[in-house]
Amino acid sequence: MDVTTAFFYLFALVLLFAAFRVVTARNPVHAVLFLMLAFSQAAGIWLLLKAEFLAITLVLVYLGAVMVLFLFVVMMLDIHIDSLRQGFWRHFPLALVIGALITLEMAVVLFGGFRISEAPTVPETVTNAAGEVVQYSNTKALGTLLYSKYLYPVEIAAVLLLIAMITAIALTLRERKDSKKIDPALQVRVRASDRLEMVKIEPTQAPVPVEPQAAAPAEEGKQ
C-alpha cells in the first residue's frame, strides 16, 4: 500500500464517521461541527484525485462561509431538542421509506455515470485543432462534465439544497410567540381602501399675528 492509498482510506474513514455523527448527534451545534469535519475530509480526497478546484472551493466557500453561517444560525435559534424528538418514532417508518426511495434513485443515477474501468488521468497540456499545445483548464473541463454528462447528479444536489433551505425556513418561522410573520392569505385579500383613507380637512381661519409687547421700563432707582 502506497502513501496515496493510505491517505485515501484515512480520509474516507474519518469522512464516514463524521457523516454518521452529523445525523446522530443530539446537539445541533455538534452536528454542524461534524459536518465541517466531513467537508474537510472530502476536500482531502479531492486533492488526492487532482481536483484542486473542487477542494479549494469546498474549503473556501463551504467551510469558510456557509458552514460558519449555519453554525451561527443554529446557535441563535431557540431550538428545543426535546420537543422536536417527541414524534420521532411515530414518523420514523415514513421517513425510512422516503430515505430508502431517495437513496435508490440517487444510486440508479449516480452509479450509472461513475462506472469507469480505470482511474482517469488529468493532462497538464492538450493539443488543439491547429496542432498547438495549450494549457489544460481543469475548471473548464469540470464545468463541461457537470452540465453535460453529470447533469442529473447536479440537479439532485440542487433539489437537496432546496429541501434544506425550506427546512431551515420552516424551523425559523415555526409557531412561536416571538416570531413576527404575516399570514399570506391576509395579504392576498387586502384592499386599497384598507391601507389608505382620504380625510377632508376644512380650512381654518388664519391666526391673527400678535404684536410683541414692549418691555417695561426699568426702575430709575430706589428711594
Largest CA distance in the chain: 125
Instruction: Look up cell 421700563; give the residue.
Output: 217
What CATH class does 1-79 carry?
A: mainly alpha
pLDDT in tens, 21-71: 988 887 777 888 888 899 889 999 988 888 888 888 888 887 777 777 777
Return the exposure string of 5-30: e unless at least 16 CB atoms fall within 10 Å of the residue's CB, then b.
eeebeebeeebeebbebbeeeeebee
b/e for 78-101, b at 16 or more Cβ within 10 A? eeeeeeeeeeeeeeeeeeeeeeee
Q: What rounded mean pLDDT belongs to the chain?
A: 75
Cell of 192: 386599497
pLDDT tens per residue, range 141-153: 777 887 888 888 8
Tens of pLDDT, residues 113-171: 555 444 445 555 556 555 666 566 777 777 788 788 888 888 888 888 888 778 877 77
- Name which of 3-17, 146-160, 172-186 the model is least confident about: 172-186
Is 43 within 8 Å of 57 (Cβ atoms)?
no
With 0-12 / 13-18 / 19 or more C-beta atoms within 10 angstroms meaning exposed / middle / buried, residue 129 is: exposed
Is residue 124 a contact partner of residue 136, using CB atoms and an 8 Å limit?
Answer: yes
Structure pTM? 0.48
- Interatomic CA distance for residues 15 and 23, integer angstroms: 13
- Please, which residues bridge with residue 125 across strands? 135
Residues forming CATH 1.20.120.1200 domain(s) in the chain: 1-79
